[in-house]
C-alpha cells in the first residue's frame, strides 16, 4: 500500500481536529480535538520515517506522545477544577481575565 495514503489520512485527521477546535465550545471536546491533531502529526511523522527509511520521525513521535501525556494530565486537571468552580465546561465562560 502506498505510504502517501497515510499522509492523506493524517491531514484529514488534522483538519477534523482543527475544525473541532475552532467550532466547539466544550472544553473536553476541544481537548480531544487537540489530541486528534497531535496524533495526526504523529502519524505523519511515522509515515515520513518510513518513506525516508530512517528512525528520526519515530523518535519524534515518541517525544510527542510523552509531551501529550503530560499535557493531558495538566489540561484535564485545569478543566476539572474550572468545572468545579463554575459548573460549566464551556470555554466561552472562562473569560474573567478579559478586560
Under 8 Å between Cβ of 27 and 79 = yes
Judged by CB under 8 A, the residue of 7, 16, 21, 32 near other proteins is 21
Residue 98 binds to other proteins (criterion: CB under 8 A): yes
State the minimum distance, in angstroms, from the CB of residue 24 to other proteins. 8
Judged by CB under 8 A, the residue of 1, 55, 69, 99 near other proteins is 99
Phi (first) and psi of residue 90, to 5 degrees: -80, 130
Residue 18 binds to other proteins (criterion: CB under 8 A): yes
C-alpha cell at 53: 527509511
Amino acid at each position: 500500500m502506498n505510504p502517501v495514503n497515510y499522509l492523506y489520512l493524517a491531514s484529514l485527521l488534522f483538519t477534523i481536529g482543527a475544525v473541532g477546535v475552532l467550532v466547539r465550545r466544550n472544553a473536553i471536546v476541544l481537548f480531544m480535538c487537540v489530541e486528534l491533531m497531535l496524533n495526526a502529526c504523529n502519524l505523519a511523522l511515522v509515515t515520513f520515517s518510513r518513506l525516508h527509511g530512517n528512525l528520526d520521525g519515530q523518535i519524534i513521535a515518541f517525544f510527542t506522545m510523552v509531551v501529550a501525556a503530560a499535557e493531558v494530565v495538566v489540561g484535564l486537571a485545569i478543566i476539572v477544577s474550572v468545572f468545579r468552580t463554575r459548573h460549566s465546561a464551556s470555554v466561552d465562560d472562562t473569560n474573567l481575565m478579559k478586560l
